[in-house]
Structure 1
Amino acid sequence: MSVSGKMSLPLLRAVSVRSFSAQSKPAPAASASHAGFVSTVLSNKTFVATNDNGATSARISIAYKAGSRYEPSNELGLTHVLRSAAGLSTTGSSSFAIIRNLQQLGANLTATVDRETIVYTLEASKAHLEDAVKFLNDVASRQTFRPWELPEALNRVKYEISGLAPQVRCLDLLHKAAYRRGLGNSIFCAPRQVGKISPESLQHYIAENYTAGRCAVAGYGLPLDRVVAIAQTLSLPEGSGKPDTPSPYKSGEMRKEMGGDLAHVAIAVEGASLANPKEALALAILSRAVASGPQVKWGADNSVLGKVIASEAPGSPFAANGFNLSYSDSGIFGILISAPGDSAGKVVQAAGKMIKSGIASIGADALKKGRAQLTTEILSAQDTGSILVDSLAIQGLLTGTMKKPSEIADEINKMTDSDITNVAGKISRGKVSMGAAGALSTVPYIDEI
């Protein structure tokens, strides 16, 4: 059985988003005759990529290596405030001008933050792109934080904190337990930190992290020379900013008793980083083979983990999803569970057993299903411009290169069962971490799993 609607959040990347202005008309699916993935690196070390596919609308993403892992330890939550401040007045445009003009142009501008990146994405019709890009440039590279405008962003931060889904809190706690600092930094500002981050702190953070060498620009429906021209107009200092600090996996446990009827638990081990793409891809397949939830609305969970839980905790409703999050220098592989508080203990024990001893013996049929599901997700992203353009920018930023969805799909299909089970055996011997939120009275501690 599944807990309706409790596991619908995407787990490919845990992100926080601010969007404003009008939504542009979605681009139609591109024909193969127009498809063209190309990339280059500018002389200032900015990575540029595009998919020139003949779409009638265009998208531009500007990404910086400036996610929450880079926050100073005494100013945690800074990137949440920074993302919420997107659209405030800049050195080139007032807040009113940005919002009003984007609305008039039918454009949409979104700011997204995860643990490693901040991405600004513009969607607009090609007829209005030239006018809309000016405001993308302002928002992404000409920030100025005026003390009398910042409270507007802080009100938004408070609202978002108050509405966080318990599954999101659970994953946040898992990262804190697993990494402590760096990748353990939350992408959300703690309530006690709201109002304590000054405009000067925001400006200093941008000066350190919004540099040409820490930037990637990606396009969708645009030729490479047009995207290069946009990248060259950004007002960015040269260089790569301060050196990155590694964030090693430590292992641990964090729990937040929140009451309610449900317990939400994430159990994980260290996975693979983006520096090891073959292992990262194998674990992405494995996450879908282990637990992907019901594939038919209101249907039963017939995944490997679903069957294990059904036998270990018969009659208990639950929802379970596997996840694999790969970062530039580490990764985390695990299972996210939601279940009624009074029966969550048995469900969590079953999931813990799967992580520690079951994933290395996943059968061929489950792995075949995992490959098929991941292939569909990757190829579907090619038809969704907003997902693809962000992916191109983040790939370039974190790996220095770009892979087409079709190339990734080919790599998935070439992955053998032994490739996947070998990686599964390797990570199953690692230290377990856990994050839990909700009604936790029956949820076992990590040393009891």
Structure 2
Amino acid sequence: MKRLFRITNQNRYVSTSRSSKGACWPRPDYGPMEVQRSVMMNGIKVAAAKPLGSQIAACTIMYQAGSRYEIDDQLGASHFIRAASSATGCGYTFFAKMRYLQQNGGSITCSSDRQNISFTLRCPPTVFSELKNYLLDVASRCCYHPWEIKDRKTLIREDLVRIHPEQRVIDLVQKACWTGQLSNSVFCEEGRIDEMTDNSLNCFARTHFKSSHCTVGSVGVPFEETLKLAEKIEYKREMPEQRQEKQSCPRGGFELFDLGRDSDTWIALAVPGCGTCDVPCLFKHAIIAAACGTGNMQAGQHGTDRTPQPPLGLMAGDDIFTEYKTFNLSYCETGIFGIVAKTRAATARKAAVSAAEFLAHVGDLNFKQIDVGKQRLKVSLALHDEDCVKVSEGLALQLANNVQIDSAKNSMSVIDMLCPDEISCTAKMISSKCSQMAMAVVGDVDAVPHDAELGVK
């Protein structure tokens, strides 16, 4: 035995040839490897992405039917549609949907904003062909029965109570920024809940859930399967008439929501920004927001463990209860760019003035800060492509805006091509819009100065 062992050791060798196992490793890259696109005769746009070996698939049906398209007795319809996404449809009951989806490891989510409403199925690729009919039932065949709408009204009221103050202040500052339909909230107002009927919801769905306003994006699903799903959304081959888009104008208003005296206070200041129709300008706004600071450099178990991104995060100084961050929201033709601050009532006035001054001087960003903003944005885009739901919703959104970016890698190429001088000019343009600044406050409203008192107009 000893001799055999010695011979074995003498015969060992090292090979420098390429291993067959190494050839099977996934290619190091960001986002989908290939995206196939198509436009159907009835106007539905389809895109399917082949991922880098993901074991989870996602498919999104998106309509250009956000809260901005609500009128008259339809105000609050998009909130009810979100709440009723799990209700009974033409093909399956609420119980059947929930039971079968859970048994097969799938889930359907509904999300909406002022521009879009989307329905996304997330499931293993092997069961997509079995679960796609449930997605169709939720997105295009929901019945909105009167008894189910009545049950959802309690859920709507609970949603209004559970809204996080930061989410509420972002919604209010958009209302303060615009006149017209962009001022419509994504939440149903308390006074509108009892007035909502099944007829209003069905009328809204018939008007805006049309093939000309519909896009379908998928990741991890074969292109042929995605096309089959899109064909079942609308069987007609004719293109519906295009609706008339109504423009909204900036008004620089003031909105508030009182949480009581000495309560924590959230302050949002915003100016008109850029829409998704202008991709280079949209990236410039996103870089500027990232350069100012959109979050924390690190996350801890408590808020006091977090380090905010500079330079905006440095304004709080030693005050651990005050936080600042930038946000950039875009609709089809326009958007808003602003700053949200969270602080205590005792320091709310100082925080509001500091945020307004920073927004008025955002054009002073130097090239080094702009370069840091580019790197932060690249990291965010790379993290975004790790979530199949976000990728499928992103593809559907690209189709809706006639944009082809496909992956984070392509976005990074666009970011690298943007000249710092052009980004600096865009930042100065944002600063010049301070005369149109809108303001929203959630918390102790008496502790915050009115927008006219900020001294930046």
TM-score by length of 1: 0.88
Quick one: which amino acid aligns to residue 447 of structure 1?
A: A
Quick one: which amino acid aligns to residue 333 of structure 2?
A: D
* Alpha-carbon distance in structure 1 between the residues aligned to 2:348 and 2:372: 27
Find out whether 1:244 has 2:218 as its counterpart: no
* Alpha-carbon distance in structure 2 between the residues aligned to 1:440 and 1:397: 39
Q: What pairs with 1:20-35 in structure 2 (closer than 5 Å)?
A: 31=27, 35=33
* Alpha-carbon distance in structure 2 between the residues aligned to 1:141 and 1:392: 19
How far did 1:156 drift?
A: 1.6
Match of 1:213 in 2: 212
* Alpha-carbon distance in structure 1 between the residues aligned to 2:78 and 2:249: 21
CA contact (8 A) 2:128 2:221 kept: no
* Alpha-carbon distance in structure 2 between the residues aligned to 1:402 and 1:151: 42
How far did 1:236 drift?
A: 6.2
% same residue: 24
CA contact (8 A) 1:289 1:366 kept: yes
What are the superposed Cα offsets for residues 52-104 of structure 1, whole Å, 9 maximum, x if unpaired?
A: 12433321100000000000134321110011111211122222222222122
Quick one: which amino acid aligns to residue 220 of structure 2?
A: G
CA contact (8 A) 2:259 2:442 kept: yes
Larger radius of gyration: 2
Match of 2:351 in 1: 347
What are the superposed Cα offsets for residues 149-186 of structure 1, whole Å, 9 maximum, x if unpaired?
A: 22222222111111111111111111111113311111
Quick one: which amino acid aligns to residue 256 of structure 2?
A: R
Match of 2:310 in 1: 303
CA contact (8 A) 1:208 1:241 kept: no
What are the superposed Cα offsets for residues 101-150 of structure 1, whole Å, 9 maximum, x if unpaired?
A: 21222211111111111100001112211111011111111121211222
How far did 1:48 drift?
A: 0.6
Match of 1:412 in 2: 415
What are the superposed Cα offsets for residues 278-306 of structure 1, whole Å, 9 maximum, x if unpaired?
A: 11111111111112343123144351123
CA contact (8 A) 2:169 2:268 kept: yes
Match of 1:5 in 2: none
Quick one: which amino acid aligns to residue 442 of structure 1?
A: A
TM-score by length of 2: 0.87
CA contact (8 A) 1:40 1:47 kept: yes
Q: Which runs of 5+ in 2 are unaligned?
A: 1-24, 300-304
Q: What pairs with 1:61-100 in structure 2 (closer than 5 Å)?
A: 61-100=60-99
* Alpha-carbon distance in structure 2 between the residues aligned to 1:157 and 1:77: 10
Q: What pairs with 1:44-443 in structure 2 (closer than 5 Å)?
A: 44-53=42-51, 54-235=53-234, 238-240=239-241, 242-259=243-260, 260-297=262-299, 298-301=305-308, 303-310=310-317, 315=319, 317-356=321-360, 358-399=361-402, 401-430=404-433, 431-443=436-448
Which moves more between the two structures, 78-87 or 300-309?
A: 300-309
**Residues 232, 148 of structure 1: CA spacing in aligned structure 2 closer, same or farther, 3 A cutoff?**
same
Match of 2:14 in 1: none
Quick one: which amino acid aligns to residue 348 of structure 1?
A: A
Which moves more between the two structures, 99-108 or 201-210?
A: 99-108
Aligned length: 417
CA contact (8 A) 2:362 2:430 kept: no
* Alpha-carbon distance in structure 1 between the residues aligned to 2:72 and 2:379: 40
Q: 3-state SS of the aligned residue for 1:447?
A: helix
CA contact (8 A) 1:77 1:193 kept: yes
Quick one: which amino acid aligns to residue 248 of structure 2?
A: S
* Alpha-carbon distance in structure 1 between the residues aligned to 2:26 and 2:132: 23
CA contact (8 A) 2:323 2:343 kept: yes
